[in-house]
Amino acid sequence: MARSDHQSINPRIAYIIRHFEAQADKSKVEQFQHYLKTDQPMFGVNAGPRKEILKESLREFPIQEFDEFYAFTNLLWQSPYRECQYCAIDTAVKFKKFHSMQAWPLFEHMALTAKWWDLTDGVAVNLIGSLLLTNRSVQDTLDQWMRDPDLWVRRTSLLAHLKHKRQTDTKCLSRTILTLTMDKQFFIQKAIGWSLREYSKTDANWVLQFIDEHGDSLSNLALREGLKFLNKT
Question: Which residues are CB-contacts of 69 (< 8 A; sequence separation ≥ 6)?
Answer: 63, 91, 92, 95, 98
pLDDT for 232 beyond 70: no
Q: Tell me which residue range forms the domain holding 21.
A: 1-98
Same domain membership, residue 201 and residue 125: yes
At 194, is the pLDDT very low, low, confident or very high (cuts 50, 70, 90)?
very high
For the stretch 81-126, pLDDT in tens is 999 999 999 999 999 999 999 999 999 999 999 999 999 999 999 9
Q: Which of 98, 124, 139 is the last residue of a domain?
A: 98
Same domain membership, residue 134 and residue 83: no
Which whole-number Å values give the CA distances from 105 to 71, 88, 115, in the listed order? 12, 14, 18
For the stretch 164-189, pLDDT in tens is 999 999 999 999 999 999 999 999 99
Domains of the chain: total = 2
Is residue 154 within 8 A of residue 180, CB to CB? The reply is yes
Mean pLDDT, range 194-222, rounded to an integer: 97
Domain at 29, CATH number = 1.25.10.90
Predicted pLDDT at 8: 47
Same domain membership, residue 121 and residue 207: yes
What CA–CA distance (Å, rounded) separates 192 from 179?
A: 11
Same domain membership, residue 107 and residue 87: no
pTM: 0.93
Same domain membership, residue 89 and residue 39: yes
Same domain membership, residue 225 and residue 204: yes
Predicted pLDDT at 9: 56
Same domain membership, residue 126 and residue 61: no
Q: Which of 80, 98, 116 is the last residue of a domain?
A: 98
Same domain membership, residue 132 and residue 74: no
Q: Which of 38, 65, 98 is the last residue of a domain?
A: 98
At 212, is the pLDDT very low, low, confident or very high (cuts 50, 70, 90)?
very high
